[in-house]
Amino acid sequence: MDDCIFCKIGSGELPSTKLYEDDRFLAFLDIQPVSLGHALVIPKEHYQDISQVPEGLLGGLFGLARCLGDETIAETGAAGFNIVVNRGVAAGQVVMHAHVHVIPREPDDGLKHWPKKDIPEEDRERLAAALRDRLG
């Protein structure tokens, strides 16, 4: 896609701090990190969001993200990592090219998790039944 920043990074048209690259995927440091080692893993082919990535690529994408997280822990001594995917603007997706965030974490890093919501049991059960039907 001509105007996609991640496509331009993947093709080498724009610079990045590359961590890993093969014919299908690229991992590079995020230019707006929330922690030391915060990286992005992308498929080189353009897919607008994670829902468009073919199943045959998902395993490789998430496998690389997990491996990168493990190696970042080994190198930095981080206590853990998050693997985060934002699908759509409402979920916080800014670049419309499928990508996975790998975010190294420390117990006292100040990064907050989502607040819990009190969802009525009947709403949860109704949704669960509908999703079971959709999933077959």
Q: Across the beta sheet with 100-105, what order do the strands follow?
A: 18-21, 25-29, 39-43, 100-105, 80-84
Measured between its terminal Cα atoms, the distance across the chain in Å is 35
**Cα three-residue angle 62-124-52, rounded to 5 degrees:** 30
Higher pLDDT, 33 or 112: 33
Residue 99 among the catalytic residues: yes
Q: Which residue has the higher pLDDT, 110 or 1?
A: 110
What local confidence, expressed as pLDDT, does residue 112 receive?
86
pLDDT at 1 over 80: no
In this prediction, residue 76 has a pLDDT band, given cuts at 50, 70 and 90, of very high
Alpha-helical (H) ranges within the chain are 5-11, 55-76, 121-135
Residue 48: half-sphere exposure toward Cβ, Cα within 13 Å = 4
Determine the pLDDT at residue 2: 78
| Location of structure tokens 């981080």 | 78
What local confidence, expressed as pLDDT, does residue 33 receive?
A: 97
* Whether residue 35 has pLDDT greater than 80: yes
pLDDT reported for residue 115:
86
Per-residue pLDDT tens digits for 106-117:
999 999 888 889
Domains observed in the chain: 5-110 (3.30.428.10)
- Residues 38, 97, 99, 101: which is the catalytic one? 99
As to burial, measured by CB atoms within 10 angstroms (0-12 exposed, 13-18 middle, 19+ buried), residue 87 is: middle
The per-residue pLDDT for range 60-75, each reduced to its tens digit, is 999 999 999 999 999 9
Under 8 Å between Cβ of 74 and 50: no
pTM value is 0.93
What is the C-alpha to C-alpha distance for residues 19 and 59, in angstroms, rounded to an integer? 19
Q: Does residue 103 or residue 1 have the better pLDDT? A: 103
